[in-house]
Amino acid sequence: METEETRMLVHTGEFRYRLSLPPVYEGNLSRVYKAWDMTLNRWAAVKEVPLSGLSPKDMKALESEVTVACRLSGQCEHVPQVFARFHQRSGSEEYLYLVTQWIEGESLRSVMSGGTLTDAEKLDLACQLCELTAQLHREKYQHRDLRPENVQVALRNGRRQLWLLDFNLTAAVPRIGRGTAGYLAPEQADISAQPGTGRVDVFAIGVMLYELFTGIVPMYGYHYLKGSDGGAWTKFVPPSGCGRGSVPEGLDPIVTKCMQLDWKRRYQDAGQIARDLRHLPRSDKPKASN
């Protein structure tokens, strides 16, 4: 193992991990470490959550994330397996630890920013994203926070493969909830609207397709705008109309259908999007999105 700053985590003598410092992710509520499992001699991801100070809402979201991660582990292809979960005290603080499979690679955001993807590779990644989301929906869950940062890209046998990460907003029932600005379906942000089903994720896929081929996230008020009737966008600039990147012929209607204002007018499931994407022309020449 390489020389680096580490920290030991031992739980009841059963779990022994050497955490690599600093954490690979640090947010307001949690930290994620790359860790060496000293018992089974493998890398793992260890999520550490301090429980003191969590609001009831945050605690409920945490419990939901752990439940979803454990249920999907081994059920959905390319969702990290859960190896262990336990609580542990350190001084006056109690922590929750969730240990999952370590996926070596980089975020879809990083891959997209590299500017070296061919149209064929972009379409392959897009199809994988739709298929993984469809698997999630078949298990009766909505991800509710699909965005490039929550998708990991790993190289397997010369092919980029996607993995879905971060299920802290994932839900089994429709609900109004937090997400990420720019990728939110309208019904997620509108407290007066009836929440859609898995089609909140279909909207986010549309945004990611837009971004994948143009390099920009479509913005409400500029690329699309709601009129007074509320049934459809009065303005919608398709990917080919923004003057950026290389947009395959036939992508515009797919993105437009994904991003319909009325969730009932979107694709019924993400698998349908993948089937339509497979019919688009593919180029093997690298084309930057900007």
Q: CA separation (Å) from 283 to 89, 119, 182, 183?
A: 54, 5, 28, 27
CA 109 – CA 198 distance, rounded (Å): 23
Question: Residue 284: inside a domain, yes or no?
Answer: no
Same domain for 270 and 127?
yes
Distance CA 47, CA 98 (A): 5
CATH of the domain at 95: 3.30.200.20
In a domain, 17, yes or no: yes
Residues 21, 155, single domain; the answer is: no
273 domain-assigned = yes
**Residues 130 and 269 reside in one and the same domain:** yes
- Nearest CA among 45, 40, 42 for reference residue 20: 45
Residues 206 and 156 in one domain: yes
Query: What tens digit of pLDDT does each residue of 180-198 get?
Result: 889 989 888 765 555 557 8
Q: What is the pLDDT of residues 141-168, one digit of tens each?
A: 888 889 999 999 999 888 899 998 887 6
120 pLDDT band, cuts 50/70/90, is very high
- Place 1 in a pLDDT band, splitting at 50, 70 and 90: very low
The residues with which 101 forms a beta bridge, in sequence order, are 44
pLDDT in tens, 235-287: 899 999 988 888 999 999 999 999 999 899 999 999 999 999 999 987 666 55
* Cα 213 to the center of its chain, rounded Å: 18
Maximum CA extent, the chain: 63
- Crossing angle of helices 251-258 and 199-214, rounded to 10°: 140
Q: What is the pLDDT of residue 168?
A: 64
Helices assigned H by DSSP within the chain:
56-72, 108-114, 119-138, 186-189, 199-214, 251-258, 270-277
- On whether both 83 and 132 belong to a single domain, the answer is no
* Dihedral pair phi/psi, residue 117, rounded to 5°: -75, 140
pLDDT at residue 218, rounded to an integer: 93
CA atoms within 13 Å, Cβ hemisphere of 273? 36
- Are both 48 and 150 inside the same structural domain? no
Q: What is the pLDDT of residues 77-106, one digit of tens each?
A: 788 999 998 989 888 889 999 999 999 999
Is the domain of 15 the same as that of 90?
yes
Q: How many domains does the chain have?
A: 2
| 94 and 210 assigned to the same domain | no
Same domain for 219 and 234 = yes
**In a shared domain, residues 171 and 72:** no
Phi, psi of 36 (to 5 degrees): -95, 120
Same-domain status, 156 and 77: no
The yes-or-no verdict on residue 178 having pLDDT over 70 is: no
With respect to residue 289, please indicate whether it lies within any of the assigned structural domains. Answer: no
Q: What is the pLDDT of residues 123-147, one digit of tens each?
A: 999 999 999 999 889 888 888 889 9
Its domain, for residue 228, covers 106-277
Find the mean pLDDT for residues 20-35.
90
Q: Is residue 34 part of a domain?
A: yes
Is 285 contained in some domain?
no
Does 215 share its domain with 267?
yes
| CATH for 149 | 1.10.510.10
